[in-house]
Structures are given as structure tokens and as C-alpha cells.
Amino acid sequence: MNQSLLQGFSPSVNNRNIRVARNNLKVSNLQVKLQVITTVSAVLNLYWDLVSFNEDLKARRDELATAQQLYEDNKKRVAAGAIAPIDIIQAEAGSGDIRGNGTPKNLWSIRTGSGNVDLRVPSEAGFDVDVSSNSGTVVVDHPVTTTVQGRVQERKSVVGKVKNGGPTISVHTGSGDIRLD
């Protein structure tokens, strides 16, 4: 029979737990570095998204200012008699609000994908109304005569006549509110 009395008494056996702890420390350090890199990358992406959105906002504001200036210039030209008033109004926007006011003399056709529409028409004006929104509210602050056929449910559209009708005001938006007062 042969039995080794010093088996398992070397320093490597005693240092095993220390080596495991050192390896676990290295893994933890690498995980922290990975988390820092991921967080910094996410912050950088958010920063550049913000820069892009700010540039887009600036461009849209410039576009709006140009359109408003053109509108004001055209109002002055109409008042001076240099140009004729526009009888047919047509406006489209992919994603923006549309505002307008006046008395319809002919068709007003207004479309927007995801914006609000706010129109002001004098209370004495007569017109046909055809307005709808897929996912917004529709408010018409004029008495509207409508013909209802079938079941009436929550309505996102109004079709009818104001003061015995007249030129049509047609407004449609995908995801915006419509207000006609």
C-alpha cells in the first residue's frame, strides 16, 4: 500500500480560489467597460438625433416664415389690385398644420397626413361641408344640416350644408384635429 501524505499541499491548490477571484474580477471589469461603451454609444446616437431634429425644426420654421411672408405679400397685392383674389383654395401638407380664414367663393380642398386644420369662416357664409379625420376630432361651429342614413356611431366626419349650402369646403386629415369656426 502506498499513500502520499503530502498530496494536495502544494501552493497551487491553496491559490485556486484566488485565481478564480482574479478571473471573476477581470470578467466584471470587462462587463463594466462594455456597459460604459454601450451607454456612451446610446448617448451619442441620441445627441445626433437631437441635432437632426433641431435642423429639421429650423428648416420647417424657415419654410413657415417664407409661406407666411408670401401670404402677407399676396394679401397686399390683392388689396392693391395687382392680383386677383384666389377663388379656389387647395392646400396639402404631409405632416403640418394648416390654418386659413375667409369666405369660400369656390372649392376649398385641404389635405394633411398628420396635422391639424383650423379654418375660420364668417358666420353669415353659406357652404357645403365635407370634413373627416381618421384619428382626430372634428369640430364644426356652424349649424350643419346633414342627411343621416343608417346607424349613427362616433363620428370622425361631418358632411352637410351650412345656411343652405354653397361652395364646398373639403378637409381631410389622417391623424389630426379639424376645427371649422
Give the pairing of strands 127-133 and 157-162: antiparallel
Closest to 96 (Cα-Cα) out of 42, 70, 57: 57
Three-class secondary structure assignment of 23-60: HHHHHHHHHHHHHHHHHHHHHHHHHHHHHHHHHHHHHH
The grid cell for 32 is 463594466
Distant-in-sequence, close-in-space partners of 180: CB < 8 Å, separation ≥ 6: 119, 121, 129, 131, 139, 140, 141, 142, 169, 171
Beta bridge partners, 175, equal: none
Closest to 94 (Cα-Cα) out of 75, 108, 80, 112: 112
The 10s digit of each residue's pLDDT in 113-150 is: 878 888 899 888 899 998 888 888 888 888 887 766 55
Return mean pLDDT, the chain.
82
The 10s digit of each residue's pLDDT in 40-79 is: 999 999 999 999 999 988 888 887 777 777 777 777 877 8
* pLDDT of the residue at 173: 86
Q: What percent of the chain has pLDDT over 70?
A: 81
Cα(48)–Cα(44) distance, integer angstroms = 6
Greater confidence, 92 or 101?
Answer: 101
CA 12 vs. chain centroid, Å, equals 66
Residues 169 and 129 sit within 8 Å (Cβ to Cβ): yes
